Structure 1
């Protein structure tokens, strides 16, 4: 029989370091169902500290009747590893839709102990989507450069000719020349927006208070397109600054809030937009363009209770020209994804009827590291401030 002292014994230091390097949650479950040990990724997944996890029974953390519990019993009796895919481990506390792949195996060195590794589908799928978004963005950059040269110059000639014709045209014909000018302007505006994708110039980044950004965006929205929509704010007041360009962050969240406002426009007094911030200390992801996993502990969400995003559009929602709006250009969310990616972050969308969440994961500001990086790159940076309370 395994002693209580053995239950409490932590994993060896080397093993713990290896486990904490893994991006997937890993649990060691004792014969009585208690969690003996867990890595940092598990702390992030269950949103409680490792110390607290080690005092919990697994039954208290997963949904009632979860297939995971049956799999553990199966592995314990057969002494053979088992894999199960697309299992729902969502609970009201950690989120109602948390689909994972399960890898369950016996720990032969400790009879009755089971190792459980969770691979969250949203995380796995998210990385594939980010790589796809980068590839699509590169295609748009090439297209934008071509359009800027091949379309804008002829359009200026067409518009100038229409203005000359307008001077000698009848009132009825002036409507047609005005239509030519308006449509030429519309195309130029579209091309200008696409040219933003080709702008690879580095921007000055420093410590930004995300709550100041969200408050500013909310004020803009409530004074215009979201005047009759109820806002709910759930902020972590102890959140450290985010490493970002403030103007670009405002552009990101203004776009997301505007989309949310359009999604709830038909709900009348029931229309609701929720803004949340949180610190997720265990979130380390392999971001495209980075050689090693980076820490993205800052989570910012824009949620709405609209009808949701069509399921067939979700995988490509951040690609250029993908839109649910009849009159939309499909460039807004693509630009949002580009800005977030340029900041070393990740954006994802989870949607179902009456609950759509746009989640942005970003790195936090590290004064010493940022100052050193700015000096090496020759990019305008921010020297280490006396305080991290950014404006």
Structure 2
């Protein structure tokens, strides 16, 4: 079935200021069809303005991609009929993704009349879930830093006696009969494993600040992708979906490569454990001008994090019991995992004054990193 635009439809022509609004905004014509959509609305609704123009917001084909509750039709009709501006908090948007599933965004909706002879309505979407998610995430990062400070101190103190134990076990093995050497070799092997874990903890505790400079995120992602493709992700399909207009980020390129290598490795290993022989990892970049941290005394306007990188896989998803603590140190979803990989990722992103979040269910896991752009970038 084709969804042709009706002949009586006329797209709206809003000014450049409207298109640059940091919040998602849509203009509906007098009949309730989408007449214009700004840049921020496209990533929020996960659809392009070109494919949406002329379609009804709550009818096919839009309704197949975005389920809205409660329905906005009655409010839109009131405002289009001459009613004053209206608002509706806690509107639920269930937004479709490539794998056929949906993820939920909550928002407050503001509706107002458009000054147009033919009538019409402007709808502004103000997300309410982002601030809550950012707040929970930053609180978890603060707790993680305290835990790692203690772990780093313990790691330093434990490594010294371990070296003595390992040396003693090696000397003991030399004087034991062959049938009793296995136990001494076990002590040596386990001591080495513990030292490796402690060194990982010490790397996590590195407090040196990232060396920030303007960085092309696509160059960083390609470095990580190429390295993964010839190593741990050889059996995985790596797909890129880059926004070529993305401005430079203010970042440390080497540390970001470490972040993306960790995320790619986690995804590849998760699919391997689940027996996915033809798994896909998709790396996507886009610009989201709506994402901003809460205002602080140092940053009264809040911190803008418009540069978005998503690493998506079609693996089994994060185990439900650890999904909320996945960035905490020593929390791991795999047997014999140290639980430091994602904690290190979170630390590096936080050191970049950015944010990382995750959405996961069986068949789709998406890690999303939000970063500030370099000064002077538009």
Alignment TM class, shorter chain as reference: 0.7 to 0.9
Whether the aligned pair in 1 keeps the contact of 2:326 and 2:332 (CA below 8 Å) is: yes
Match of 2:285 in 1: 277
Task: Please give the TM-score of this superposition, normalised by the length of structure 1.
Answer: 0.74
Decide which of 103, 107, 115 is 2:108's aligned counterpart.
103
Contact 1:86 1:121 in 2 (8 A): no
1:245 maps to 2:255: no
Match of 1:315 in 2: 324
Q: Which runs of 5+ in 2 are unaligned?
A: 1-11
| Structure 2 counterpart SS, 1:158 | helix
Take 1:86 and 1:311, find their aligned partners in 2: how far apart are those partners? 26
State the shift of 1:28 in Å. Answer: 6.8
Distance apart, 1:275 and its partner CA: 1.9
Match of 2:313 in 1: 304
Question: Structure 2 matches for 1:152-163, cutoff 5 A?
Answer: 152-163=159-170
Q: Is the 8 A contact 1:129 1:315 kept in 2?
A: no
Q: Which residue of 2 aligns with 1:387?
A: none
Q: In structure 2, what is the equivalent of residue 254 of structure 1?
A: 261
How far is 1:256 from its partner?
A: 0.7
Change (3 A) 1:188 1:228: same
Q: Decide whether aligned partners of structure 1 residues 233 and 257 sit closer, same or farther in structure 2, where only a CA change above 3 A counts.
A: same
Task: Please name the residue that 1:87 is paired with.
Answer: 92
> 1:178 aligned to 185, 191, 195, which one?
185
User: 294-303 or 73-82: which moved more?
Assistant: 73-82
Q: CA deviation at 1:230?
A: 1.8
Distance 1:274 1:37, change over 3 A: closer
CA contact (8 A) 1:104 1:114 kept: no
TM-score, structure 2 normalization = 0.76
2:368 alignment partner in structure 1: 359
Displacement after TM superposition at 1:258 (Å): 0.8
Q: CA deviation at 1:90?
A: 1.3
Structure 2 counterpart SS, 1:243: strand
Conserved in 1, the CA contact under 8 Å of 2:210 and 2:352? no
Deviations 1:94-132 (Å, cap 9, x if unpaired)?
Answer: x9534233434665999x987755444652343033213
SS of the residue aligned with 1:127?
helix
How far apart are the structure 2 equivalents of 1:48 and 1:269?
A: 30
CA distance in 2: counterparts of 1:149 and 1:321, whole angstroms: 17
- Per-residue CA shift, 1:300-358, capped at 9, x if unaligned? 22211111123342222111122110111111001101111111221111122222111
**1:252 and 1:336 in contact (8 A); partners too:** yes
Q: Is the 8 A contact 1:298 1:362 kept in 2?
A: yes
Is contact 2:27–2:37 with CA below 8 Å preserved after alignment? yes
1:305 and 1:355 in contact (8 A); partners too: yes
Deviation at 1:155? 1.7
1:39–1:238 CA distance, 2 compared to 1 (3 A): closer
| 2:349 corresponding residue in structure 1 | 340
Q: Residues 172 and 193 of structure 1: is their aligned pair in 2 closer, same or farther, counting only changes over 3 Å?
A: same
| Aligned twin of 2:7 | none
